[in-house]
Chain A
Amino acid sequence: MTEKELIKKSIEYRKNILKYIFHANAGHTGGSLSCIDILNVLYNHVMNVSPENFKSTDRDRYIQSKGHSVEALFVVLADKGFFPESDLKTLCKYGSHYIGHPTRKVNGVEQNTGALGHGLPISAGTAIGAKLDNKKFRVFTLLGDGELPEGSNWEAALIASHYKLDNLCAIIDYNKLQITGPTAEVCNTDPIDAKFESFGWTVRHVDGHDLNKLKETFDSLPFTVGKPNLVIAHTVKGKGISYMENVIKWHHGVPSEKQYEDAISELDNAMITIPDDF
């Protein structure tokens, strides 16, 4: 996929996230917008996973620990052909499989998540499973910075290093905001890099909205042979919609009709202004 196509994908994904959250009148808007560029690069550039190989034991795995940003995952899975995008019209409706957190009832979802602090332990177990069978697949898991106080993360951080899981890549959507306020004020988890490094991980920082930088970062996996990998993706909650960026109420705020139309036209303008030299 060309760089321009990848940029277009991000804009389309943002439009769809807003479309289906607006339609459902529910969703985790800010966090879905902060992590969508990461998912775009993972699913369209990094990971070997598709509807065709989803039953294969060799596929790369993606486990979303910050399950509440499910809208980002669903729009990407729909785009990859795991299910028709029109299914998302049922998001959060009575009887729908498309609920407010990842569930394996939706094709393409690896694990049921939603309770925080679960993705890293399961991912570590999956990465150990790959090592036991000498399989080459990799395991990617996306965490929110707000879920780091969950102790199970640190139990898994220890074991990932103990078992030298260089096939495991955790990504922190470091948007610095959570439902109550700035993460640094709720329970400061900084410095994240020094903590994980002291646990035996190799840590890379990246601009979580710079698609090229994300590609470069993931292309250089494993960062160190024999060590688990952490990508701290510096992101902006609500990224792409000016009135949502860094505003806490958009954690799970749903736009009004006017706000929705403004957001879509902002994204349409962004599409028009993609430079040709990409």
Chain B
Amino acid sequence: MGAVTEIEQGKVKANLDVFSNTLQDLAQHDRDIIVVTSDSRGSGKLAPFGQKFSAQHIEVGIAEQNLIGVAAGLASCGKKVFAVSPACFLTARALEQIKNDVAYSDNPVKVIGISAGVSYGALGSTHHSLHDFAALRAINNIIVVAPADNFETEKAIQLAAKTDHPVYIRFGKKAMPPLKEVNDDVFEFGKGRVITEGNDVAIIATGETVYPALQAAKKLQEQNIAATVVSMHTIKPLDASLLAELANKCKAVVTVEEHSVYGGLGEACASYLMQRNIFKSFRIIGIPDEYTVTGSQQDIFNHYGISEEGIAKEVMQLLNR
């Protein structure tokens, strides 16, 4: 079934909607589940949560530093706290609170960055988060996750609720088709999810870029290029053993992310491989060091080659095909 048809039939949801539904399911059975918002319940699709579980919802107004500080205090009381705000504000303005009040103090807050990457498209660079992987990777004691599809989002939220240490999860608001028809994978933080397998190139993508990576793999198949596509949903800790295995097996490695090419998934992979003397043709696809072109998320993806065409082209060049 094509993705467009599924979207029309309402079967394919934005990860944001899945997040909201999953939280409601969790809150129904656990009154320690608390959501803290910074005037972000609308953009977080959390208005129904607030209505159904008003006693489990704390609104702090537009004040991201306070959002994280308050969430840390609540977590210290044993609450399973989801602090929800657009990723751009949360991981920049409140970075010191994430570093000190959450990660350093080990208050197990689930920091939820909504409308991440360039999801806000034409709203511009104030609203883009292309630095969050880099900033949070350099902070000790926080797991960094970017689920790709609805399945991964649901599992990531459920797992975060059970995790006694800080977690950052970021996702966008576009409807995301399933990467697999049958989702029987075990979902664990720090374990990449192999979507398709092939020995010519390993395409290691994360978040909403996994879907175009998968489309590119199908296109490459027509040229007799067999690609492995991995949803590397956890940026930190990185699934290093899977990365090494794929790099040893394939002729080339391409990473794809909705993030600056500096400090994100690509550089994490490159650093790991280089320090283990695994040298393969290697490319990082992401947003270059510039304020992005204007346009929608899709426009921006297309412009920088985070697309079926762009990823396939990069792989062909890398393999000299």
Measured CB to CB, the residues of A under 8 A from B are 57, 104, 110-115, 117-118, 120-130, 132-133, 139, 151-152, 155-156, 158-159, 162-163
CA distance A130 to B74 in the complex (A): 9
For residue A130, which residues in chain B have a CB less than 8 angstroms away from its CB? 77
Task: Report Cα–Cα, A56/B75, bound state, in Å.
Answer: 15
Bound: A162/B63 CA distance, A: 14
Q: Is B79 an interface residue (CB 8 A)?
A: yes
Interface 9-mer from B101-109, B146-154, B184-192, B305-313: B101-109
Of the candidates B60, B68, B73, which one forms a contact with A129 in the assembled complex, judged by CB atoms under 8 Å apart? B73
Q: Is the interface of B mostly helix, strand, loop or mixed?
A: helix
Known A126-B74, A132-B55, A155-B65; contact A121-B104, beta-carbon cutoff 8 A: no
Determine whether the beta carbon of A121 is less than 8 Å from that of B58: no
Contacting pair B76 A129 (CB below 8 A): yes
**B77 and A121 within 8 A (CB):** no
Query: Please, how many angstroms separate the alpha-carbon atoms of A155 and B73 in the complex?
Result: 15
Most chain A Cβ neighbours within 10 Å, of B73, B74, B77? B73
Question: Mask for B222-259, Cβ within 8 A of A = 1, else 0?
Answer: 00000000000000000000000000000000000000
Q: Which residues of A contact B101 (CB under 8 A)?
A: 111, 118, 121-122
Can you list 18 contacts pairing A with B, beta carbon distance less than 8 Å?
A110-B76, A112-B100, A118-B69, A118-B97, A120-B69, A122-B70, A124-B69, A125-B72, A125-B75, A128-B74, A129-B74, A129-B79, A133-B77, A152-B69, A155-B63, A155-B65, A155-B66, A158-B63
**Interface assignment of B78: CB less than 8 Å from any CB of chain A:** yes
Interface residues of B (CB under 8 A from A): 34, 55, 58, 60-61, 63, 65-66, 68-79, 96-97, 100-101, 104-107
| Contact indicator A125/B73 (Cβ below 8 Å) | yes
Q: Evaluate contact between B65 and A112: CB separation under 8 angstroms.
A: no
User: Can you add 18 more A-B contacts, CB < 8 Å, to A115-B96, A122-B72?
Assistant: A110-B76, A111-B101, A111-B107, A118-B96, A118-B100, A121-B101, A122-B76, A124-B66, A124-B70, A125-B75, A126-B74, A128-B73, A129-B79, A132-B55, A132-B77, A132-B79, A152-B65, A158-B63
Closest residue of A by beta carbon distance from B58: A128
Nearest chain-B residue to A152 (Cβ)? B65
Q: Is the interface of A mostly helix, strand, loop or mixed?
A: helix
Chain B nearest Cβ from A107, distance in angstroms: 15
Q: Are B76 and A159 in contact (CB under 8 A)?
A: no
B77 touches A126 (CB 8 A): yes
What B residues does A124 contact at CB under 8 A?
Answer: 66, 69-70, 73
Q: In whole angstroms, what is the CA distance A85 to B76 when docked? A: 27
CA distance A174 to B34 in the complex (A): 35
A-chain residues with CB within 8 Å of residue B96 when the two chains form the complex: 115, 118
CB–CB A159/B61 < 8 A:
yes
| Other-chain residue from A104, A110, A155 in contact with B106 (beta carbon distance below 8 A) | A104
Shortest A72–chain B CB gap in Å is 20
Q: In the assembly, what is the distance between CA of A118 and CA of B95, in Å?
A: 12
Docked complex Cα distance between A184 and B278 (Å): 60
Tell me if A112 and B105 are in contact (CB < 8 A): yes
Closest to A111 in B: B105
Q: How far is the CB of A53 from chain B (nearest CB, A)?
A: 15
A159 x B73 contact (CB < 8 A): no
Contacts of B74 in A (CB 8 A): 125-126, 128-129, 132
How many Å lie between the Cα of A127 and that of B104 in the bound state?
21
Asked if A125 and B105 sit within 8 Å, CB to CB, the answer is no
Write out the residue numbers on chain B whose beta carbons fall within 8 Å of the beta carbon of A114.
100
Q: A151 — which chain B residues lie within 8 A by C-beta?
A: 65
Q: Tell me the bound Cα distance from A126 to B76 in angstroms.
A: 7
Residue of B55, B79, B97, B100 most packed against chain A (CB within 10 A)? B100
Q: In the complex the two chains form, is B69's CB within 8 Å of A121's CB?
A: yes
Look across to chain A and name the residue whose beta carbon is closest to the beta carbon of B34.
A132
With A126-B77, A133-B77, A158-B61: A121-B97 Cβ-Cβ less than 8 Å = yes
Q: Do residues A111 and B60 form an inter-chain contact, with CB atoms below 8 A?
A: no
- Please state if B77 and A159 are interface contacts (CB–CB under 8 Å): no
Q: A114 vs B104: C-alpha distance in the bound complex, in angstroms?
A: 11
Residue in chain B with minimal CB distance to A150: B65
Are A121 and B100 touching (Cβ within 8 A)? no
Q: Chain A contacts of B72 at CB under 8 A? A: 111, 121-122, 125
Kindly provide the distance from the CB of B292 to the nearest chain A CB, expressed in whole angstroms. 29
**Chain B positions within 8 Å of A117 at CB level:** 65
Q: Which 3 A-B pairs have the closest CB atoms?
A: A125-B73, A121-B69, A129-B77
Which chain B positions have C-beta within 8 A of A156? 66, 69-70
Q: Smallest CB–CB gap between A114 and chain B, Å?
A: 7
